Structure 1
Amino acid sequence: MDEQQRGSAAAAVFDALGAEYEKAFAGSAAHRSSLQWLLGRLAPGGRVLDVGSGTGRPTAETLAGAGHEVLGVDVSPVMVDIATRQVPGASFQCADIRELPLDDALFDAVCVYFSLLQMSRDEQERLLRRLVRALRPGGSLAVATVPLDVEDAEGVFMGQRVRVTSFAAEDFTAKVTGAGLSVVSEESVLFTPAHPDAVPEPHLFLHCVREGDVAVVAAR
């Protein structure tokens, strides 16, 4: 499956899930904790890129509600429509983040919550490097994934057939640091989405800064 086919497949899955995805993941305490980490790092009026913004909740809603300028990007037109209605304080764009031009040092923070899983390993690595370049020096990046050593594995997610690629936790962390980030904290949890077809899944949240800013983080 090539890049365009993967993008179309991801759009179809999340078009079908729509608001059900938000309901299923609303109970994630680790996600809320990750957002609080970002809020603690951002200066007033920060510019934030939310990759795979979904319905806009909780990520864009939380950050925009705190006064930050949020751009959400999602490949699913249904998700973008829902987010635009639910979070009028943020901006949303329907696009494949792999193809979207990103200026260097444009954002103070980037969020990438579970939006890498339907990309190939090469695509994930390339995107992480692009996102690091889009961060200003000292900027923050929060990323979450399902840390499993699988490549183009077929499965069922909330009743939808999906193909998933990921890395084991240690390998994923190595890819993140290799992209030019320093990991300053992490959280691993087992989470069961609130959906009748869902099963428990491991979640890994990494909280990172663009390399060279670790001392500043430790002092805050």
Structure 2
Amino acid sequence: MSHADFGQPAGLPAATVFDALGADYERAFAGSAAHRASLDGLLERLSPGSRVLDVGSGTGRPTAQALAGAGHRVVGVDVSPVMTALAARQVPDAEFLCADIRDLPLADGEFDAVCAYFSLLQLSRDDQKELLGRLVRAVRPGGRLVVATVPVDVADVDAVFMGQPVRVSSFGAAEFTALAAGAGTVVEERQSTLFTPDHPAGEPEPHLFLRCRRV
């Protein structure tokens, strides 16, 4: 999520934005070595046949595809009907739900791992805090949470992301890491990088990847 163009018109709903982006989003972020490294780190720590929730699953690539290809049972959730349909075609071995994760019932400890790659940015700060807690509780004790964000200190700011008006909120790196820990995890790895999406409207943006273990 690029935050280079603040002060633009009020953002569109997340579903509208990602319906419009479709496969362009996958192409723009396909070159993220840090995302691949985060996934590889998770795959190394999962037991065979683990049940994994992919929050903001997008087109299904690379996250759901990598996990399902390794034999894990993947449930992807995304608010975009276009993205969800594309993911179902591209990763037929995973299950995809078109839903707002805030409205989805999550049982305590029902997953071995949860992934949330850049899927919190269009939520308010309060919603992000609440959702992080719910996602951690949805992981069994000792299970994994991997989460990525754009670590900038903004709240309800209008921006342009790949040509689409959006409203974004986020936290600085230290505060976001503290939120993950405070939600009931041990943060085992923290990786920061700068990435430019492969898109005509792409701007360099900081990325923060955390790998956490539920206590």
Q: What is the TM-score with the length of structure 1 in the denominator?
A: 0.92
CA RMSD in angstroms comes to: 1.2
Which aligned runs of 4 or more in structure 1 are off by greater than 6 angstroms?
none
Corresponding position: 1:78 with 2:78: no
2:172 and 2:188 map into 1 onto residues whose CA distance is 19
Is residue 58 of structure 1 aligned with residue 41 of structure 2? Answer: no
Amino acid of the residue matched to residue 20 of structure 1? Answer: D
Alignment of 1:194-205 (within 5 A): 194-205=198-209
SS at match of 2:155: coil
The AA in structure 1 aligned to 2:88 is T
Q: How many pairs are equivalent?
A: 206
Superposed counterparts of 1:173-212, under 5 Å: 173-211=177-215
After superposition, residues 12-161 of structure 1 pair within 5 angstroms as 12-161=16-165
Q: Encode CA deviations 1:75-115: one digit per residue, 9 max, x unaligned.
A: 00000000000000100000000010011110000000000
Distance in 2 (alpha carbons) for counterparts of 1:52 and 1:181: 21
Q: Which runs of 5+ in 1 are unaligned?
A: 1-5, 212-220
Between the aligned partners of 1:125 and 1:46, the Cα distance in structure 2 is 26
One-letter amino acid of the counterpart of residue 71, structure 1? V
TM-score by length of 2: 0.94
Higher RCO, 1 vs 2 (CA within 8 Å, ≥6 residues apart): 2
Shift of 1:15: 0.4
How far off its partner does 1:193 sit? 0.2
Query: Cα distance, 1:186 vs. partner?
Result: 1.0
Hey, what's the Cα distance between the residues in 2 that align with 1:15 and 1:87?
Answer: 18
| Cα deviation code 1:54-74 (max 9, x no counterpart) | 000000000000000000000
Distance in 2 (alpha carbons) for counterparts of 1:171 and 1:132? 17
For 2:144 and 2:131, the matched residues in 1 are separated by: 16
What CA distance in whole angstroms lies between the structure 2 residues aligned with 1:174 and 1:87?
34
Instruction: Report the 3-state secondary structure (helix = DSSP H, G, I; strand = E; otherwise coil) of the residue aligned with 1:129.
Output: helix
Q: Percent identity of the aligned residues? A: 69
Higher helix share: 1
Give, in whole Å, the separation in 2 of the partners of 1:137 and 1:61.
25
Provide the C-alpha distance between the structure 1 equivalents of 2:106 and 2:159, rounded to a whole number of angstroms: 32
Unaligned runs of 5+ in 2: 1-9
Partner AA of 1:93 in structure 2: L
